[in-house]
């Protein structure tokens, strides 16, 4: 958790929760509209509206976002710094708008860590094009419950996308080195882990490609 996120959570039980309480009626109207959008499948529009709330009324946004998580520590802090009535009012949000927890949580990550549509899931299925003798991969990328991308491509086409992403990763690290920017321990450790996983997958890929090269085309 970065310093901005720490500040948001420690300040909320004071001025930020008060901001929510002062705008409670209008906020409930907005949450009703957001819930309708989510239930109707308009997730992208709902996320944009939540981003607008975060930009224009950060106190209200973080009060709602943390309330929707059902955090006992957060509600306890509200009781200690304000009162039980205020805490109960916020607790009701989690019970009333459970469908909004996920989109608020994603936007909270965006606001606190300068992300945009963070990828939280990738689903894949494989098929085979008999006439072309080519395996096909259908993949879909999600950010929370919001679909980001869906495509069907051959293995070499999928690998080309992967190359673009690895190249972009290298570019970002090179820029950090050139500008003498440090990379925190958690990120660096994650990079090392991902590199090792990537190398392991590449070893398997190399073995399968070698096996296919020894098999005549059209051999079942």
Per-residue pLDDT of the chain (220 residues; tens, 9 = 90+): 444 444 444 455 677 788 999 999 999 999 999 999 999 999 999 999 999 999 999 999 999 999 999 888 888 888 888 889 999 999 999 999 999 999 999 999 999 999 999 999 999 999 999 999 999 999 999 999 999 999 999 999 999 999 999 999 999 999 999 999 999 999 999 999 999 999 999 999 999 999 999 987 765 5
Q: What is the pTM of this model?
A: 0.80
Rounded Cα gap, residues 141 and 38, in angstroms: 18
pLDDT for res 95: 92
Q: Is residue 73 a contact partner of residue 130, using CB atoms and an 8 Å limit?
A: no
Where do the domains of the chain lie?
A: 3-113
43-79 burial: b if 16+ Cβ within 10 Å, else e: beebbebbbebbeebebbbbbbbbbbeeeeebbebbb
pLDDT for res 21: 92
Q: What is the pLDDT of residues 49-72, one digit of tens each?
A: 999 999 999 999 999 999 999 888
pLDDT for res 72: 87
């Amino acid at each position: 958790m970065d310093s901005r996120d720490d500040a948001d959570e420690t300040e909320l039980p004071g001025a930020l929760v008060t901001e929510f309480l002062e705008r409670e009626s209008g906020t409930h109207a907005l949450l009703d509209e957001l819930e309708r959008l989510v239930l109707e499948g308009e997730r992208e529009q709902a996320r944009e509206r939540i981003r607008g709330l975060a930009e224009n009324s950060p106190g209200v946004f973080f009060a709602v976002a943390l309330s929707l998580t059902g955090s006992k520590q957060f509600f306890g802090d509200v009781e200690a710094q304000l009162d039980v009535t205020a805490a109960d009012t916020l607790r009701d949000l989690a019970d009333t708008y459970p469908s909004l927890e996920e989109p608020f949580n994603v936007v909270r990550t965006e606001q606190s860590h300068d992300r945009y549509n963070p990828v939280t899931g990738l689903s894949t299925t494989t098929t085979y094009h008999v006439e072309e003798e080519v395996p096909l991969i259908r993949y879909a990328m999600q950010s929370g419950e919001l679909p980001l991308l869906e495509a069907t491509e051959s293995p070499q086409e999928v690998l080309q996308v992967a190359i673009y992403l690895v190249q972009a990763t290298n570019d970002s690290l090179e820029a950090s080195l050139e500008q003498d920017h440090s990379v925190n321990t958690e990120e660096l450790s994650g990079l090392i882990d991902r590199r090792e996983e990537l190398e392991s997958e590449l070893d398997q890929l190399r073995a399968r490609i070698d096996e296919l090269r020894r098999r005549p085309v059209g051999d079942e």
